[in-house]
Structures are given as C-alpha cells and as structure tokens.
Amino acid sequence: MIRYLRHHQLDKTQWDACISASAERQVYALSWYLDVVSPGWCAVVEEEQGRYVAVLPLPVARKLGVQYLRQPLFCQQLGVFATAQYDYNKVGELLEVARSHFSLSTTYSFNTANTKALQQVPELQQELQTFFTHYLRLDKPYESLYRHYSRDRKLNLRRAQQANLQVVERDDPEPMITFFREHVQHKIYGGVAEEAYTLLRRLYRELQSRQMVKMWYTATADGELNAAAMFMFYGDRIIYLFNAANAAGRAGNGRTLLLNEVIKQNANSSRILDFESPQLENIAHFYASFGSTAVPFRMWQFNRLPLPLKLLRQLRMDIYRKFTDNSKQK
C-alpha cells in the first residue's frame, strides 16, 4: 500500500530502519536529519505487512499560502529509498502520489542511486534535470590515490606543506562561519540569511552528539586558523559538508591540505568521499583535481500552479536572473 503521510503520521522507527536497510542509504534521509533541516517534512511511504519497504521524503516549504517542494540546505540528495528486493518499476507510482499533493517543486534532488530507476518513468523526463556531484572511492592505498591528483593539485599540496600549515581538529564551527561571512557571503547574490548559520550550528551539534562529524582547520605555526572543513561520516560515505577560508587560507591552499588529510586517513577503506559539488565549473574542476569522478543525479522541477500564480513566479524568476546576470558582468 502506497500512502502520503504528514509528519505526525510517520513511524520514525520504521522510517529509519528502511533508510538503514536501503541500497541508497544516505544520512540526509534519516528522520532526525530531516527534522533539523526541514521541520514538518512529509513523505510518500509504501508498506507491506506494516513495514516500510520504500519511502520518498518530501521537504515542504510554504510561501504566499502555497505549499511546495524545496530541497533543504545541507541536504544534497533525497529521492527514493527502498529495502532489498523492492520492485523499482513502482517508482513512478510513488512520484505520482507526491505530485498529487503538490503543484510546485522548485528544487528536489534525487540520490545518485535513483538515476537508473528514474529513466524508466517516461512521463517524468520533461520535469528532470541532470546535475553532478563528485565521488572519490578510497579503496586504494594513499600513494595510489595521490598519483591520480592533477599536476596542479600536487603542486598546491606541496606549497601548503612547505608553508608549515598544520591540520588541527576543533569542536567549534564558529571560526569557519566567520571565514564564510567575511570572505564568501558577499559573493552570493541576495546574501545569506542568518537562519542558514543557525541551521548549520544546530546540525553540527546534532552530528557531534552522534559522533558523526569532524571539524578540521589549518593553522599556522603560531596557531592562527585560516581554513576550515566540516566532514560528515555515515556508513560508507564521508561528506564534505561545508568549508571556508580567509585570504591567507586560500593563498596557502589550506583546503587542499584538509581534503588531502581526510583522503590519507581513510585510504584503503570501503568509504567514498562525496565532495557535494555545487554546479559551478571552477569548483567542480577543483574537486576533479583530486581524482574524483563526476556522478549524475536528477533534480525534479515542475509547476502546475494556477496561471496567475505561475505568471507571478515566472516574473520573479526573470527579475532574479536579470540581476544575477548583471552582477556577473560587474
């Protein structure tokens, strides 16, 4: 039986058991993670004999009285999660139930393991776009992984090492947030809402309480911090969740040193480093320089709002794109 369930109707014990047993297994879809990044989330659930065998988490946002789907911050991949022997030919049925409850999806990202199953839903193809993240399998000795770094990445790593930068672990995300505020935020069109930093702090505390996060910085010989990286650990995944650096950290290749450290510490393991690539060519190029592979995932977007609301939203998007294009030309 396939049902749409509101947040209060969900059995979170059954939910997390399904996520943990699924082939797609991602921390983003665990109930406690969704409670942090998308309070009040809903879902489509398929049950057999009272047991969840497939789930589709639905992050719900609201604006101007309209309830719609929007991918939360710090949550790159959602989509379908199913237990063993699930018939993926039924994925279309799960999605159709979701579509019957929402007229708008601005952004909804499926996990990378769903890509093949989504290709089997012809009526969905016009609503899907393809994006990429970068994965690096760590199943080889460090020396072998290092050989696949690009020439520039090896050079910049040597520069960071020659600058005597040290990798230090801290349990405080505030210096990283400060780096981002002072050196990155102004580059983002529309700025960054204070709520985003509050959410990051809350998520860090939750992950820390579950021993699922490492907060690493690079420091100079006199102890001055200049670059930061936040790594999340779950199952066979290491997720490069957030990072920032000040001017000295960027010049000193601090983030190269931090990524190299996590690769070195987890080499020869079954883990995969997920760089969580944004769709920016220069950043994707940086992640690829570590020998990572671009892996596709699909984003679901549709708009079946009444015509007046659809036109209003299109007007707002056109204005946004105009200002974005103008800012890029400056």
Closest listed residue to residue 300, CA positions, set 120, 109, 117: 109
Q: Please check whether residues 149 and 126 belong to one and the same domain.
A: no
**pLDDT for the residue numbered 155:** 97
* Cα 208 to Cα 199: distance, rounded to the nearest angstrom: 14
* Cα 313 to Cα 291: distance, rounded to the nearest angstrom: 40
Q: Please check whether residues 106 and 192 belong to one and the same domain.
A: no
Q: Please check whether residues 216 and 96 belong to one and the same domain.
A: no
Last residue in a domain, options 270, 287, 317: 270
Contacts of 216 (CB under 8 A, 6+ apart): 167, 168, 169, 170, 228, 229, 230, 231, 258, 261, 262
**pLDDT for the residue numbered 178:** 96
Instruction: Kindly state whether residue 277 falls inside one of the protein's structural domains.
Output: no
CATH of residue 218's domain is 3.40.630.30
pLDDT of residue 325 exceeding 80 = no
**pLDDT for the residue numbered 85:** 85
Cβ–Cβ < 8 Å for 88, 113: no
Q: Please check whether residues 125 and 152 belong to one and the same domain.
A: no
pLDDT in tens, 66-93: 899 999 999 999 999 999 889 988 999 9
Average pLDDT, the chain: 91
Instruction: Kindly state whether residue 292 falls inside one of the protein's structural domains.
Output: no
Last residue in a domain, options 251, 270, 289: 270
The number of residues making up the chain comes to 330
SS3 label, residue 144? helix
The confidence band for 306, taking pLDDT boundaries of 50, 70 and 90, is low
Closest listed residue to residue 168, CA positions, set 293, 258, 44, 49: 258
SS3 label, residue 140? coil
pLDDT in tens, 240-273: 999 999 999 999 999 999 999 999 999 999 999 9
Count: domains in the chain = 2
Instruction: Kindly state whether residue 58 falls inside one of the protein's structural domains.
Output: yes
Q: Please check whether residues 85 and 179 belong to one and the same domain.
A: no
Q: Please check whether residues 304 and 246 belong to one and the same domain.
A: no
Instruction: Kindly state whether residue 213 falls inside one of the protein's structural domains.
Output: yes
Cβ–Cβ < 8 Å for 126, 300: no
DSSP-assigned letters across all residues of 264-322: HHHTTSS-EEE----S-HHHHHHHHTTT-EEEEEEEE-EE---HHHHHHHHHHHHHHHH
φ, ψ of residue 9 in degrees (nearest 5):
-90, -10
Closest listed residue to residue 232, CA positions, set 87, 54, 41, 75: 75
> Which residue in this structure is represented by tokens 């983002």?
188
Output the CA angle 302-306-310, nearest 5 degrees: 60
Question: How many helices (DSSP H) and strands (DSSP E) are in the chain?
Answer: 12, 15
Instruction: Kindly state whether residue 293 falls inside one of the protein's structural domains.
Output: no
**Amino acid identity at 273:** L
**pLDDT for the residue numbered 307:** 52
Q: Which residue has the higher pLDDT, 243 or 309?
A: 243
pLDDT in tens, 121-164: 998 899 999 999 999 999 999 999 999 999 999 999 999 999 89
DSSP-assigned letters across all residues of 52-117: EEEEEEE-EEEETTEEEEEPPTT---BS-EE-TT--GGGHHHHHHHHHTT-SEEEE-BBPGGGHHH
Q: Please check whether residues 116 and 213 belong to one and the same domain.
A: no
Cβ–Cβ < 8 Å for 263, 147: no
What residue numbers bound the domain in which 321 lies?
Answer: 2-132+299-329
Closest listed residue to residue 24, CA positions, set 296, 224, 235, 222: 235
Instruction: Kindly state whether residue 306 falls inside one of the protein's structural domains.
Output: yes
Q: Which residue has the higher pLDDT, 300 or 64?
A: 300
Q: Please check whether residues 99 and 161 belong to one and the same domain.
A: no
What residues form DSSP beta bridges with 48? Answer: 51
Instruction: Kindly state whether residue 282 falls inside one of the protein's structural domains.
Output: no
* Cα 131 to Cα 281: distance, rounded to the nearest angstrom: 12
**Average pLDDT for residues 278-306, to the nearest whole number?**
90
Q: Please check whether residues 109 and 152 belong to one and the same domain.
A: no
Q: Please check whether residues 217 and 243 belong to one and the same domain.
A: yes
**Amino acid identity at 259:** L
